[in-house]
Amino acid sequence: MKNLLAIFFLFFCVPASGLDIDFGRGDVPVTVSKNYNAENPAPLIVLLHGYGSNGPQQDFYLGLSRVADRYGFLLVAPTGTLEDRGEGSGRRPRTFWNSTGACCDFFDTQIDDNGYIVDIITKMKSEYNVDDKKVFLVGHSNGGFLSYQVAYKNPGLIAGIASLAGASHFKARVAPEGGVHVLQIHGTLDSTIKYEGGDIGGVNYPGAMESVSQWAKYNGCQTQTGEGESRDLDSSLEGYETIVSTFVSGCRSGGSGELWTISGGSHIPRVSKSFSSQVVEWLYSHSKP
C-alpha cells in the first residue's frame, strides 16, 4: 500500500486559470474557453484526478486547460475528499474518489461522488450553454475508476469517457440503459493499476482490455477487435509506441469501446505534447447521436 500511495501522488501544484465555482463542496477551478459564446452550445469536460492528487495538479499534468481555447470547451477540475486517518496514525491523509470497492474509499466513508459529479454537470448546464451531446469525463487512475462508474449510472448524461490507468468494475452487472463511448489508455508496465488487472487490498479490478471488452458488450458491439493507427502518447518512449484496439462494429447508438495500449508505459506516463489534443479529438468524434 505504501508504494501505491507514493506512485499515485503527483507533486506538481500550479494555480488553475479561469473561474472558481462552488458545486457544493467548496470552490472548484473552471476554465472557460475565450471563444465561448452563450448562443452556441459548448462541450463540457470534467477532469477527475488520481488518488492523492487534486484538480489543479491533474490539469497541470495532462494540460487540458491549455488546449481549451483551441477546441472551445468548458473544463471543470474538482478535487475529491481528504481522508480522515484519525489522530496518531502517522500517515499523511490523501484525497480520493469513492468509485468501486477496489479504489479508493479505503476508510469506507460511502461518500456519494457519483452524485457530486452529476451536480457539477447540472450546475454547469444552469450557468453555461452546455452541449448535451458532448458531456465527457477524463480521469486518471482513481479518477478513471470514477469515470466508469458515473458513466454506468448516468448513460443518458455522459457521451464518453477517457480513462488513463483506471479500470471498470469487476463484478458482473446488467448493461446500462444507454450507450456510452469508452476509451481506456493504459501502459503495459503499470505497476500500480496493472494492465492485466489485479487487486487492491484483496478487492479485484479488471484489466485494460477486460474493461473495454466489458463496455463493448454493454454497447452491443461485436466482440472482435479492430485496429487503428499507432499513436505517440508517451514522450519518454521512441516512436509511435501506442497500439490502438477498437470495438466499433455493430454497436448500439451512442456506444463504442477503444483501448490505447502504451507499450512500455508506466502508471504516470510522460505524456507527449499532443496527448491532450489526441484525447479531446477522440472525445469530440464520439459525441451522442
In-domain check, residue 201: yes
**pLDDT above 80 for 88:** no
- Note the pLDDT tens digit of each residue in 16-42: 347 999 999 999 999 999 999 999 999
Q: How far apart are the C-alpha atoms of 257 and 255, rounded to whole Å?
A: 7
Helix (H, G, I), strand (E, B) or coil at 52: coil
Q: What count of other Cβ atoms lies within 10 Å of the Cβ of residue 83? A: 20
Per-residue pLDDT, averaged over 168-174, amounts to 94
- Domain contains 195: yes
CATH number, domain at 83?
3.40.50.1820
Q: How does residue 10 score in pLDDT terms, banded at 50, 70 and 90?
A: very low
Residue type, 214: Q
Q: What percent of the chain has pLDDT over 90?
A: 88
pTM value surpassing 0.85 = yes
Helix (H) or strand (E) holding 198: strand 198-200
Is residue 240 one of the residues assigned to a domain? Answer: no
Residues whose CB is less than 8 angstroms from the CB of residue 116 and which lie 6 or more positions away in sequence, other chains included: 23, 24, 25, 78
The mean pLDDT of 232-257, rounded to a whole number, is 97
The residue that leads in pLDDT, 54 or 15, is 54
Residue 80 lies in a domain: yes
Residue 208: domain span: 2-175+187-215+263-284
The Cα–Cα gap between 191 and 195 comes to 8
In a domain, 289, yes or no: no
> For position 279, what pLDDT does the model report?
98
- pLDDT at position 180 over 90: yes
* Cell numbers that stand for 83 in this block: 481522508
pLDDT at 9: 43
Question: Does residue 13 surpass a pLDDT of 80?
Answer: no
193-196: long-range contacts, CB 8 A cutoff, minimum separation 24: 193/103, 193/141, 193/144, 193/165, 193/166, 193/167, 193/267, 195/261
Look at residue 236 and tell me whether its pLDDT is greater than 90: yes
Arithmetic mean of pLDDT, 155-178: 96
230 within domain boundaries: no
- pLDDT over 90 (residue 121): yes
In a domain, 253, yes or no: no
CA distance 164 to 233: 11
User: What total of structural domains would you count in the chain?
Assistant: 1
Q: How far apart, in whole angstroms, are the C-alpha atoms of residue 63 and residue 269?
A: 13
